[in-house]
Chains A and B, each alone.
Chain A
């Protein structure tokens, strides 16, 4: 396994032209998980090619806004790959404003929906996507929904539950004082 892990880091380095350090962890059952970051976000496309070359599969892609994003101005995307049972997560960092990332759908077809999903939920432009249609949201809704809109559950703030509990506490306080 050690050898395979070194091969992965070497392959990533070769394909991206960056020196990539992968931190590997082994759990109690011997399952390996690797973590690394690319300096240049655009290198995710050659990195995906390196993974395909090693017969890896793409598990899923997660775009997210770290809690510190408003302060740092940095957003992130994590690409999770499976390499013969070991998981490798490649992270990239993008600017909060005007983020742009190349599509890896030409390499891994299952990235299609993941990329279309984060295109509409976050303010991220995906270049070179073969089919950049909307996935969930209607065309009439502006993209970056997660960054502009408030979830209804947050908005309503548990109003019904709050009102019911006020009744419960009021009625039972009365019971105790005869």
Chain B
């Protein structure tokens, strides 16, 4: 007889969804988790309820607009403890593409205790189910006052790529070797998820997944395709990890072969765009900084 026979079946956990001014994109994906058996939350021992007073897990979508803020907080307060709060989509987590708008009061964790974040715009139903599984584990640990288990999916698992079908819009990847530091990605990023920092050791690229709308503008405009979309959909994480969920890379500076001034290296990908073939002359010129290259070019014209 296995020990499980002595335990009563785990109680059904009820999920309550609060729309905090969402575009309904995430809500459509949530509907999938209620109606499509492949992604069904039922298999996790969860089911949806309309009544916050009988819910165990709260799922919030939307950036928390100023208009709905009070209603959302009132609704949230009706959920009995121990409740577990799950944010679905980048809007409630960071404000997403609506951040800093006068009409948005979020991020949601300014007002209430958040447990699990599921970034995406919208997240894939599989990511939502994984996040809810995480929330259910948290709820049971809290309810039974049991010690908290390790997260169901660790950052290492994510890095080793929980991937979906090829058409999934997954997390973005950065290839520092191909980056030319033009910063076009930072400029076009809809969610303000990309920033560059200059330091003595080089140019640091940071992409915060919790603000990334997965729109692909960065990779579309990247001249050397240093940014590319992956099929990795799994980004659900506990709140403690919220600010650590980044894609980072450093483009190290190299000294100019002429004057020694540190400069960004010329990526091979860039030369491929600029030249049909790489001559020895090009190879030499690419090790020079802009100022030295200008001098060389003008000097080179003298015959």
Contact = CB atoms under 8 A, between A and B. Distances in A.
19 contacts: A152-B102, A153-B100, A153-B102, A158-B100, A158-B192, A160-B106, A160-B107, A161-B95, A161-B99, A161-B192, A164-B107, A165-B208, A168-B206, A168-B243, A168-B246, A169-B206, A171-B244, A172-B246, A172-B248
Nearest to A162: B100
B244 A153 contact: no
Contact of B94 (A152, A164, A172): A164
Interface residues of A, number: 16
A153 B243 CA distance: 24
Contact of B208 (A158, A159, A168, A175): A168
Given A160-B107, A161-B95, A167 B100 contact: no
Contacts of B294: none
A160 to B, nearest CB: 5
Interface of B: 94-95, 99-102, 106-107, 192, 195, 197, 206, 208, 211, 243-244, 246, 248
A177 interface: no
Chain A, interface SS category:
helix
Interface string A125-152: 0000000000000000000000000001
Contacts of B94: 164
A161 B243 contact: no
A93 B107 CA distance: 46
Interface of A: 152-153, 156, 158-161, 164-165, 167-172, 175
Contacts of A175: 244
B100 A156 contact: yes
